[in-house]
Amino acid sequence: MTTPLRLGIAGLGTVGIGVVKIVQRHANTLARRAGRPIEIVAVSASSRGKKRGADISTYAWEDDPVALARRDDVDVVVELIGGENGPAKALVEAAIAHGKDVVTANKALLAHHGQSLALAAEEAGRVLRFEAAVAGGIPVIKALTEGLAGNRIERVMGVMNGTCNYILTQMEATGQGYNALFEECARLGYLEADPNLDVGGIDAGHKLSLLAAIAFGTQVDFDAVELQGITDISLDDIRLARDMGFSIKLLGVAQLTGRGLEQRMTPCLVPASHPLGQLDGGTNMVVIEGDSVGQIVLRGPGAGEGPTASAVMSDVMDIARGLRLPTFGEAAANLLEAPAAVVSSAAPWYLRMTLLDKPGALARIATVLGESGISIDRMRQYSHDGAHAPVLIVTHRAASDDIRHALERFAATGVLVGAPVAMRIEEV
């Protein structure tokens, strides 16, 4: 009889129970596809008596997740606890130390400790897999490590937080402001316990740092990700962008340049006609550009019980089949320490500001832009009240340092009312 692959699952929240349901519901199919049975033998969670919507009574129970990692009858530890430190980190370290393979959905853990954990796993001859940590049900890790392994990856970009995309698309669709939609997301349970992980771009930044490591053969460097959330995006920005043929997205972009590794998770304008611009609701999308394949687009659900559990099971199935890849697609000891690129590559920019409605005000702004090496592609002045004049400027391609320099100098012109808004227009 073929030896079963025995799982120990730590964390029985939405995703953990989703994994239990898949194993129970599709046991025969999984066994046929893997060439061996997949069994759950033990579980661990913070509360034993909680009703969970799946029968776990036949599995051994461990109050301490680290004890799960020490069990002789567990081959693979599935970590679904979450958090960058604490029990999740202790569990993964113990699992590797006790000769277990690990599957995790924990983006924060890997964004902060991925290099050290990958080294430990590979030195111990274990595998550490994390398909579910990035973009939910979209198999983007597999795409990079397997399907596109013959390409030099030139750029990775995407919308990787469904909550932010839901807010931005609902602002456009309903005319509601950010605050109202934030409260709606809180009521619907779309927000993390710390909402800033979502709306501040941190959650998506974790994911981007993991994709960058795989795409460019570099060590995970989340601290170098430029982060800016969506809290300052106004309805005016949404409407003006649409008027010019753009949509605003919280967009992650990573690319390796001569200056180093660029990683940014910031609000950007993208063409409304591009698949990124058409992405609605809580869906995620990742765009990968390779030197041989060109541009490919991966779209799908970025969260939820079924999609994320599906991604967890894809890693489990690979282990059951005997596929053993390095954590980030190549040996962790060989991953480069790429310098962070502090100057983003040039791009057009969207600038929105309100000026005092007086002669020469716009000329002063244009002078500052010219002296900063920035040329104007198009400009619109919207209806004004006799005191204030809203102005929208789209620049030709400009470096972010030049844009920052111009914004700093705007204050000295004496014609600006409030702070200007600046967003990159990503060339997709």
Task: Give the per-residue pLDDT at 119.
Answer: 98
Query: Which tokens hold the place of 130?
Result: 């994390």
Phi/psi at 391 (5° precision)? -130, 140
pLDDT tens figures, 18-39: 999 999 999 999 999 999 999 9
Q: How far is CA 46 from CA 12, 65, 139, 428, in A?
A: 9, 9, 30, 45
* pLDDT value at 1 more than 70: no
Range in 330-339, 376-385, 388-397, 403-412 the model is least confident about: 376-385
Calpha distance 297→286 (Å, rounded): 6
What average pLDDT score do residues 382-389 get? Answer: 76
Calpha distance 39→77 (Å, rounded): 12
Calpha distance 195→223 (Å, rounded): 19
Phi/psi at 199 (5° precision)? -70, -20
Write the CB contacts of 294 (distance below 8 Å, at least 6 apart in sequence).
none
Calpha distance 222→254 (Å, rounded): 12
Task: Give the per-residue pLDDT at 418.
Answer: 87
End-to-end CA distance of the chain: 52
Higher pLDDT, 105 or 188: 105
Q: Is residue 68 within 8 Å of 94, Cβ to Cβ?
A: no
Q: State the DSSP code for 280.
A: -
Q: Cα torsion for 207, 195, 109, 286, to the nearest 10°?
A: -10
pLDDT tens figures, 190-243: 878 788 899 999 999 999 999 999 999 999 999 999 999 999 899 999 999 998
DSSP string, 246-267: EEEEEEEEEEEETTEEEEEEEE
Give the catalytic positions in this structure. Answer: 207
**Domains, the chain, with CATH or none:** 5-104 (3.40.50.720), 140-301 (3.30.360.10), 349-425 (3.30.70.260)
What average pLDDT score do residues 297-313 get? Answer: 93
What average pLDDT score do residues 399-412 get? Answer: 92
Query: Which tokens hold the place of 58?
Result: 């036949």
Calpha distance 47→50 (Å, rounded): 6
**What is the SS3 string spanning the chain?**
CCCCEEEEEECCCHHHHHHHHHHHHCHHHHHHHHCCCEEEEEEECCCCCCCCCCCCCCCEECCCHHHHHCCCCCCEEEECCCCCCHHHHHHHHHHHHCCCEEEECCHHHHHHHHHHHHHHHHHCCCCEECHHHCCCCCCHHHHHHHHCCCCCEEEEEEECCHHHHHHHHHHHHHCCCHHHHHHHHHHHCCCCCCCHHHHCCHHHHHHHHHHHHHHHCECCCHHHCEECCCCCCCHHHHHHHHHCCEEEEEEEEEEEECCEEEEEEEEEEEECCCCCCCCCCCEEEEEEEECCCEEEEEEEECCCHHHHHHHHHHHHHHHHHCCCCCCCCCCHHHCECCCECCCCCCECEEEEEEEECCCCHHHHHHHHHHHCCCCEEEEEECCCCCCEEEEEEEECCECHHHHHHHHHHHHHHCCEEEEEEEEEECCC
* pLDDT value at 381 more than 60: yes
* pLDDT value at 380 more than 90: no
Nearest to 23 by CA among 316, 319, 323: 316
Q: Give the pLDDT band (50/70/90) at residue 343.
A: low
Q: Is residue 111 within 8 Å of 133, Cβ to Cβ?
A: no
* pLDDT value at 16 more than 90: yes
Task: Give the per-residue pLDDT at 187.
Answer: 84
Calpha distance 43→57 (Å, rounded): 10
Task: Give the per-residue pLDDT at 94.
Answer: 98
pLDDT tens figures, 354-373: 999 888 888 999 999 999 99
* pLDDT value at 70 more than 90: yes
55, with CB counted inside 10 A (0-12, 13-18, 19+), is exposed
Q: Is residue 160 within 8 Å of 132, Cβ to Cβ?
A: no
* pLDDT value at 91 more than 80: yes
